[in-house]
Amino acid sequence: MTTNNHAHLHQIHTHIAGPAQHAFEAAGGHWTVMRKSVFEAVAAEGAPRTAYEITDHVSSALGRKIGANTIYRILELFIEHNLVSRIESQNTYVACDHPQNPADCIFLVCSGCGKTTHLDDQATSEQVRALATATGFTPDRMVIEANGRCVGCSL
């Protein structure tokens, strides 16, 4: 069986802020200054960031102290709208580079350097969903993670 694997480094930069804003507003959301700042903080480094790193970045960018609870609420809203994904094993967040195309997330997480590779593989996602459905379980959202070592850390 052939699958259409499309792997790419999850190095997201602020150039995806426009599509994210458009997708969010098309779904009826309001792209406020705070939400824009949170999204840019998630996307800025192109690497997974913790909520506290995002909080510090947003506080600095806006010139005032922002509470972590505010950031968490916005992150949950962004997850719901496919703008951000949470890497469960690291408790970190990354910006989605395809907010207009909701898909299940498959991440390869390096335990050495923390580099995260995002795989788009619809066939694998459908297979896992079918296995879950066969047991009577209905998945709402899937995030699949594989932890290990990237090529650079394996040398």
Tens digits of residue pLDDT in 120-145: 788 888 899 999 999 999 988 788 89
> What does the pLDDT read at residue 5?
35
Task: Output the CA torsion sign for 73, 42, 59, 91.
Answer: positive
Residues of the chain with pLDDT under 50: 1-14
CA dihedral 95, 75, 50, 120 (to 10 degrees): -30
> What does the pLDDT read at residue 8?
36
Of 104, 101, 51, the closest CA to residue 75 belongs to 51
Reduce the DSSP state of residue 37 to 3 states and report it. Answer: helix
> What does the pLDDT read at residue 101?
64
Architecture of domain 6-154: Orthogonal Bundle (1.10)
pLDDT tens for residues 115-124? 888 887 888 8
> What does the pLDDT read at residue 100?
66
Domain extent listing, the chain: 6-154
d(CA 155, CA 150): 9
Within 8 A by CB and 6+ apart from 115, the residues are 9, 47, 109, 150, 152
